[in-house]
Amino acid sequence: MRRLLGIRNVRLYMLGQVLSLFGDTSLWLAMGIWVKTLTGSNGAAGLVFFAFALPQLFAPLSGMLVDRVRRRSLLLVTNIVTGCIVLLLLMVHGADQVWLIYLVMVLYGAAYTVLTSAQAALLKTMVPDELLGEANTVLRTAQEGLRLVGPLTGAGLFAVFGGGAVAILDAATFAGAALSLILLRVEEARPQREEERWWAEVTGGIRHIARTRALRQVIVACGAAFLVIGFIESAGFAVVDQGLHRPVSFIGVFMVAQGVGAVVSAPIAAGVMRRTGEVSLIGIALAIFAAGSLLLVVSSLPVVLAGSLLLGFSLPWLVIGFNTLLQRRTPERLMGRVSSAADLLVGTPQTISIAVGAVLISLIDYRIMLLMIAAIVAFAAIYLTTRREPPAAPALGSRLR
């Protein structure tokens, strides 16, 4: 870990990305609360997350863009443009402008598909293969620490000053992330367009996943799990107001509980991953998520808080294992497309489930939705933890800076 943090570029990169995530977590929750406040609808609030997830359907195009240009420059431009887009929220003054919140979240989601792929690719360029697990762990640990204050900051700013104040905060964090990228000193090879047809180039990431057994297994399991995980975006609001009879802003407390769970689990992810491998780590994370969703069924504040802790505990292991597996099993020239393809293959089921969840919440009891989540995610966990993980291919030329 000391060797990793001794790399100047890694420190700057992590500082910028953690700052940006602080703005993200403050904004996402506040937008759901804002729509719930304006419309009174749990389904409408859940659609905020659907709007954000929808652009993942076009993730392969983002991946092709990432592999055609220098990643640092792309990240810099995307951060600046997205910060300006967020400021459109200053125009929302009543229920008639709810559509503008959805529009901003769609554009935000589109930018996010570019950012996530480019970030994964740039990190692979800066960090040697043997330190990728530690890099993802350190980054996620720092990010999860800020999740403890991000949701409460967003909910608090919204309650006192309104959604516009949250938008200004998020725009400022994008500016901070852009500054960190300006200060980076990274030697990136000049991207070269591959000599193949456009469609073959776009689908290069999907084809790499299909022929790489470990990646294929994880995508199948996570895709199945995320077909129902999205239900929790709408069900979470129902847990607060129907199950616990609390105001909608109280959901910020559960976000903090998730943050506590994540802060506990993230630092130990790399150690567990060294013993279990990336695939099994993801399977264990899904099992913990299933247990957490099951606890949300109980209309008791301590039990629901425990469930939120488990949900938060599972997420860093899932993300760290997933990102590290992608980076270790993918050549650098394909990194953007593979990352985007993975987002598409997992994000599409999630997007569908968020939309279905926003409809189901008005038709069936939210507890049935939570039981569905627990059952299907548990099956996905069993599938992954019973797979034999194949050995990783040799590292492909990552370099220290």
Distance (Å, whole) CA 169 – CA 161: 12
Distance (Å, whole) CA 146 – CA 192: 38
- Is the separation of the CB atoms in 54 and 106 below 8 Å? yes
Looking at the predicted structure, is the pLDDT value of residue 389 above 70? no
How confident is the model at residue 394, as a pLDDT? 42
* Greatest CA separation for the chain: 60
Torsion of CA 385, 311, 351, 379, to 10 degrees: 30
How confident is the model at residue 376, as a pLDDT? 94
Distance (Å, whole) CA 248 – CA 225: 27
Q: Which of 323, 313, 223, 312 is nearest to 278 (CA)?
A: 323
Q: Which of 202, 174, 160 is nearest to 104 (CA)?
A: 174
How confident is the model at residue 292, as a pLDDT? 92
How confident is the model at residue 353, as a pLDDT? 87
How confident is the model at residue 218, as a pLDDT? 92
How confident is the model at residue 246, as a pLDDT? 81
How confident is the model at residue 2, as a pLDDT? 66
Distance (Å, whole) CA 231 – CA 311: 14
Residue 189 pLDDT level (bands cut at 50, 70, 90):
low
Residue 106 pLDDT level (bands cut at 50, 70, 90):
very high
pLDDT digits (tens, 9 = 90+) for 367-387: 898 999 999 999 999 999 887
Q: Which of 263, 254, 255, 261 is nearest to 302 (CA)?
A: 254
Higher pLDDT, 130 or 304: 304
- Any residues with CB less than 8 A from the CB of 380 and at least 6 apart, and which? 221, 222, 224, 225, 283, 286
Torsion of CA 331, 2, 71, 318, to 10 degrees: 60
How confident is the model at residue 395, as a pLDDT? 38
Higher pLDDT, 7 or 313: 313
Looking at the predicted structure, is the pLDDT value of residue 198 above 90? no
Higher pLDDT, 252 or 257: 257
Residue 117 pLDDT level (bands cut at 50, 70, 90):
confident
How many of the other CB atoms lie within 10 Å of CB of 142?
18
Distance (Å, whole) CA 73 – CA 155: 33
Between the alpha carbon of residue 381 and those of residues 90, 132, 157, the distances in Å are 43, 24, 38
- Is the separation of the CB atoms in 104 and 46 below 8 Å? no
Distance (Å, whole) CA 77 – CA 340: 18
Calculate mean pLDDT across residues 321-349.
Answer: 83
Domains defined for the chain, CATH in brackets: 2-184+202-385 (1.20.1250.20)
Looking at the predicted structure, is the pLDDT value of residue 23 above 90? no
Q: Which of 139, 117, 152 is nearest to 338 (CA)?
A: 117
How confident is the model at residue 138, as a pLDDT? 75
Highest average pLDDT, of 67-76, 101-110, 320-329, comes from 101-110
| Chain Cα centroid distance, residue 344 | 13
Tokens of 336: 């953007």
- Is the separation of the CB atoms in 310 and 260 below 8 Å? no
Highest average pLDDT, of 146-160, 231-245, 283-297, comes from 283-297
pTM of this prediction exceeds 0.75: no
How confident is the model at residue 399, as a pLDDT? 34
Say which amino acid occupies 382: I
- Is the separation of the CB atoms in 56 and 347 below 8 Å? yes
Residue 400 pLDDT level (bands cut at 50, 70, 90):
very low
Looking at the predicted structure, is the pLDDT value of residue 331 above 60? yes
How confident is the model at residue 314, as a pLDDT? 92
Compute the Cα dihedral for 280, 285, 288, 290 and give only its sign. Answer: negative
Higher pLDDT, 11 or 397: 11
**What is the SS3 assignment for the chain?**
CHHHHCCHHHHHHHHHHHHHHHHHHHHHHHHHHHHHHHHCCHHHHHHHHHHHHHHHHHHHHHHHHHHHCCHHHHHHHHHHHHHHHHHHHHHCCCHHHHHHHHHHHHHHHHHHHHHHHHHHHHHHHHCCHHHHHHHHHHHHHHHHHHHCCHHHHHHHHHHHHCHHHHHHHHHHHHHHHHHHHHHCCCCCCCCCCCCCCHHHHHCHHHHHHHHCHHHHHHHHHHHHHHHHHCHHHHHHHHHHHHHCCCCHHHHHHHHHHHHHHHHHHHHHHHHHHHHHCHHHHHHHHHHHHHHHHHHCCCCCHHHHHHHHHHHHHHHHHHHHHHHHHHHHCCCHHHHHHHHHHHHHHHHHHHHHHHHHHHHHCCCCCHHHHHHHHHHHHHHHHHHHHCCCCCCCCCCCCCCCC
How confident is the model at residue 398, as a pLDDT? 36
How confident is the model at residue 85, as a pLDDT? 93
| Chain Cα centroid distance, residue 188 | 26
Q: Which of 204-208, 337-341, 393-397 has the lowest mean pLDDT?
A: 393-397
